[in-house]
Amino acid sequence: MRQGKCFVFIEVKYRTHRHFGSASEAVNWHKQQKLKRTALFWLQKNGFSIDQTECRFDVVTIEGQEHHIEWHTNILVEG
């Protein structure tokens, strides 16, 4: 997805119950690293400069039988 000049990479997580944690907890540091690698691959494959392209990483969570939806923006944790 694009928002202006920014490419937005979105991970969607769904949980019907919290037996294994919430949907947002599933996007841990390791998952974030995988998202970054995937985005870098996509940018390179499509001819975009990694250093000169603005990117953002969001997570959409869907939880419970009621399908409660939340959009979390700019979720990357550095380190």
C-alpha–C-alpha distance, residues 55 and 64, integer Å: 30
Amino acid 54: pLDDT = 93
| pLDDT tens digits for range 36-75 | 999 999 999 999 988 899 999 999 999 888 889 999 999 8
Confidence of residue 78 (pLDDT cuts 50, 70, 90): low
* Prediction pTM value: 0.81
Q: DSSP readout, 8-25?
A: EEEEEEEESSSTT--TGG
pLDDT beyond 90 at 15 = no
